Amino acid sequence: MLHALIDNFVILFVVVDPIGLVPLFASLTRGSDPLYRRRMALRGVALAALMLVTFFVIGDGLLRVLGVGLPAFRIAGGALLFLLAIDMVFARQSGLRSTTLKERAEAVVREDISVFPLAFPLISGPGALTSVLLMATAIDQPAIWLGMFGVMAAVLVITAVTLLASGPLLRLLGETGANAIDRLLGLILAALAVQFVLDGLVATFPAWTH
């Protein structure tokens, strides 16, 4: 049980990437007063938590309604997370975990960035939502199910702390330091993504294990 929770924590932490969010959040709130930044950070994390919990709770039922088998979703989810890992390793931004230039320009003129782009897609983007769906479909013990709420809470609390401390953290790490951490986390995520794909393939073609 503990091993499964640790694995899920690592996956969700890497995908949400609290450190990588620091320069993005600082850019979106540049020139704003501390009260506004604090309010946007806390509200964005709260909304992201609502989205992740919703997807986690309805994940298994949603796949059944759509007629998508678990092996197929593991393969697709693993492929998506692998693409996200490539972006992290090469320190590039894409729609998987960031906003496009047009979306960023639209966000600049908004007074409230907590829903878009902070909660979605920066915190609970496609990668994070896919991850919690994968986790929900792989759980076979009630204790792990309950523990997953603790895992999500831990990742989101860390995210909130990094956003609230984005100014000092950005000065401490700089763009280069943040990218170096992203590359390391990207390598870990790539290995985990490949494992998801392999699990899906083995479930689809069980003869491969013999």
Q: Mean pLDDT in the chain?
A: 84
Which one has a higher pLDDT value, 210 or 46? 46
The string of DSSP letters for 27-79 reads HHTTT--HHHHHHHHHHHHHHHHHHHHHHHHHHHHHHHHHT--HHHHHHHHHH
Which one has a higher pLDDT value, 110 or 185? 185
Residue 41 pLDDT level (bands cut at 50, 70, 90): very high
Assess whether pLDDT exceeds 70 at residue 100: no
- Cβ-Cβ contacts under 8 Å for 60 (sequence gap 6 or more): 136, 137
Q: In the prediction, which pLDDT does 95 show?
A: 57
The string of DSSP letters for 109-159 reads T-S--IIIIIIIIIIS-HHHHHHHHHHHHH---HHHHHHHHHHHHHHHHHH
Q: Are 192 and 9 in contact (CB under 8 A)?
A: no
Q: In the prediction, which pLDDT does 24 show?
A: 83
Assess whether pLDDT exceeds 90 at residue 109: no
Rounded Cα distance between 15 and 151, Å, is 13
What are the Cα distances from residue 187, in Å, to 108, 131, 191, 194? Answer: 32, 16, 7, 11
Assess whether pLDDT exceeds 70 at residue 110: no
Q: Are 9 and 147 in contact (CB under 8 A)?
A: no
Residue 32 pLDDT level (bands cut at 50, 70, 90): confident
Which one has a higher pLDDT value, 165 or 126? 165
Q: In the prediction, which pLDDT does 35 show?
A: 94
Assess whether pLDDT exceeds 60 at residue 187: yes
Q: Is the dihedral of CA 172, 187, 25, 149 positive or negative?
A: negative
Q: In the prediction, which pLDDT does 47 show?
A: 97
Assess whether pLDDT exceeds 90 at residue 155: yes
Which one has a higher pLDDT value, 64 or 108? 64
Q: What is the mean pLDDT of residues 104-129?
A: 78
Assess whether pLDDT exceeds 90 at residue 123: yes
Structure tokens at 179: 């990218």
